[in-house]
Each structure stands twice: as structure tokens, then as C-alpha cells.
Amino acid sequence: MGYCTKGFTLLELLVALAVSAILLTLVVPAFSQMAQRAKADSDLSELLRSLNYARLEAIERGLPVHLRPEAVDADWGRGLEIYQGEGPATNVLRVVPAVSRGARLTLTSGFDSIVFNALGGVSAAVSPVMTYVLGEQRRTITLCLNGRIAVGEECK
């Protein structure tokens, strides 16, 4: 009777490990980019919902509605609040959660808040532009003076 061995040789194990390592180096970056894209899409969707909410509230109430950073240091990425009114008589309508960890949300310099007027337009001399960055994901939102919200494009 012959001697029968079960299992793998060292050479077979090394080849299997090498193939696994090559596959992992191809899959991990693609998965990381896919996860970043999903987070960016989620953050952008929440931001667009909030901007549309603020605009529609201004139209419905017939009064200006503001969107500003919730944080005192004016960091747009740490959360936003939508409110109506001025000074101590501020009526907060909705609080928008912070963007994903590691993401940055900035607004064109010169703007400390966005104001939608009673007609749904933006009360400003120029269209504010919001920029969202998460890793390699970069998105821009332009708030047209007529109230239209343009993602990745300029106002026409």
C-alpha cells in the first residue's frame, strides 16, 4: 500500500497567498473609493434636502428663512440650522446633522449665512457656492439668485 498525504505543500500555500495579496491590493482601493462616493452622495442628498426645505419654508411662510452653521466658529461641516427671524427671537425650524467625518463643507467667502426670501430666491448680490470635499470626492452646489439649486454646474 502506498503512502498518501493530505494537505498543501509549502509552494502551493505561497502561491495562494501571493494571489490573495494581489487581489487585495486591487480590491481595497476600489472599495475605499466606493465607500467615499457613497458617503459623499449621502451627505450631498441631506444638504440638498435641507436647502430645498429652507427655500420652501420661506415661500410658505412669506418671510425670509436663513441657513447658517450651528457651530459658533462658522464651520459649515459641523452641522447647520435653518431658522426664521433675527436676533434673540430666532425660531429654529430644523437642525441639519454634520457631514461625514473627514469631510469639509465650505461656502463662498463673504457669506456667514444663506437667506431665502419670501419668493424662494437667494437674498444676495452674487450666487453663493458651497463646496463639499471628502477625500477625492469633490462636489459644488451653486445657489442661483432665483432659488434654483445647481449641483456641479453654474447658474444659467
Residue 156 lies in a domain: no
The answer to whether 93 touches 82, Cβ cutoff 8 Å, is yes
Rounded Cα gap, residues 45 and 54, in angstroms? 14
Per-residue pLDDT tens over the stretch 18-72: 999 888 888 888 888 888 899 999 999 999 999 999 999 999 999 999 999 987 7
Residue 119 lies in a domain: yes
Task: Using the predicted structure, report yes or no on whether residue 146 has a pLDDT greater than 70.
Answer: yes
Residue with cell 502551493: 12
Checking 46-49 for CB contacts under 8 A at 24+ apart, the result is 46/96, 46/97, 47/96, 47/99, 47/105, 47/130, 47/132, 47/141, 48/141, 48/149, 48/151
Q: What does the radius of gyration of the chain's CA atoms come to, in whole angstroms?
A: 25
Residue 2 lies in a domain: no
- The mean pLDDT value for 119-133 works out to 92
Rounded Cα gap, residues 50 and 46, in angstroms? 6
Residue 74 lies in a domain: yes
Residue 109 lies in a domain: yes
Residue 136 lies in a domain: yes
- Which pLDDT band, with edges at 50, 70 and 90, does 1 fall under? low
Counting the structural domains of the chain, the total is 1
Q: Which three cell numbers stand for residue 116?
A: 431665502
DSSP helix/strand/coil, 112: coil
Rounded Cα gap, residues 71 and 152, in angstroms? 26
Residue 5 lies in a domain: no
Task: Using the predicted structure, report yes or no on whether residue 153 has a pLDDT greater than 70.
Answer: yes
Residue 75 lies in a domain: yes
Residue with cell 427671524: 85
Kindly report the CATH number assigned to the domain that includes residue 131: 3.55.40.10
**Which pLDDT score, from 0 to 100, does residue 86 have?**
74
Q: pTM of this prediction?
A: 0.79
Q: Which residues form the domain of 130?
A: 10-151
